[in-house]
């Protein structure tokens, strides 16, 4: 009887325990060179695209950086203060039903670039099943958006947490979704050029032209949550 009571107590407190571990690094991760780029409490280390502060539509909610798409003010993509090159970036995310968002990397915040996605490739975040417009294979969650498709079955449904990763290593790009490689390509390779040529990014003079840049959370008018964002240099 006593053991059953202990098990019941453990099950009750487990969710709170797991939640308390969000946005934290264990000693082993610190030794491996991981750093948090979101502390779970504030928007420190981030700013709205080409602004100096964070727009009011982005707040900390459920231990996550959260976009409220109903907000009439403070909209737009959110970008890191830091510029990163040759790194492994891991994060946890979920999207609201019918939602669309993305994580854009190698972003250049310069006058010649008019939007984050004009310079940076995108790790797609989408409600694959219920998005109002039927997505193409290369627009599914975990895809290198409009370039390389991720199998639809890798993604959990809207409202559930997914584990993602973006690895950029001397021109080689690897994306992961829930522990599986969802897209992989090397900048400048034949595979890259063949994927880029028919895409909407082909005419963009600054698209994926450099290997260092900011990381952006996209405002695509869909409610999105991102947490456990950690990065380490390669």
Question: Is 221 inside any structural domain?
Answer: yes
pLDDT of the residue at 84: 98
The enclosing domain of 157 has a CATH number of 2.60.120.560
Positions of the chain with pLDDT lower than 70, given as ranges = 1-20
Question: Is 220 inside any structural domain?
Answer: yes
List, in sequence order, every beta strand (DSSP E) within 6-140: 35-36, 46-48, 58-61, 64-67, 78-80, 84-85, 87-95, 100-107, 122-126
- The predicted model scores a pTM of 0.90
Question: Is 92 inside any structural domain?
Answer: yes
Total domains present in the chain: 1
pLDDT of the residue at 19: 45
The pair phi, psi for residue 177, each rounded to 5°, is -135, 115
**Domain span at residue 116?**
26-233
pLDDT of the residue at 58: 98
Question: Is 72 inside any structural domain?
Answer: yes
């Amino acid at each position: 009887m006593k053991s059953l009571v202990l098990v019941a107590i453990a099950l009750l407190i487990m969710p709170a325990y797991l939640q308390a571990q969000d946005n934290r690094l264990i000693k082993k991760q610190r030794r491996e060179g991981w750093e948090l780029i979101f502390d779970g409490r504030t928007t420190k280390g981030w700013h709205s695209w080409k602004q100096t502060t964070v727009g009011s539509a982005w707040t900390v909610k459920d231990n996550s950086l959260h976009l409220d798409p109903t907000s009439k003010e403070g909209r737009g993509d959110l970008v890191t203060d830091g510029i990163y090159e040759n790194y492994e970036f891991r994060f946890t995310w979920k999207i609201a039903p019918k939602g669309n968002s993305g994580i854009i990397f190698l972003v250049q915040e310069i006058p010649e670039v008019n939007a984050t996605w004009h310079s940076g490739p995108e790790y797609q975040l989408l409600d694959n099943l219920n998005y109002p417009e039927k997505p193409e294979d290369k627009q599914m969650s975990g895809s290198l958006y409009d370039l390389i498709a991720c199998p639809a079955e890798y993604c959990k449904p809207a409202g559930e947490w997914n584990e993602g990763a973006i690895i950029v290593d001397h021109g080689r790009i690897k994306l992961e979704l829930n522990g599986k490689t969802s897209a992989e390509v090397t900048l400048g390779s034949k595979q890259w050029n063949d994927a880029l040529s028919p895409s909407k990014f082909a005419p963009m003079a600054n698209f994926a032209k450099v290997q260092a840049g900011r990381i952006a959370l996209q405002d695509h008018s869909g409610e999105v949550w991102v947490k456990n964002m950690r990065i380490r240099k390669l």
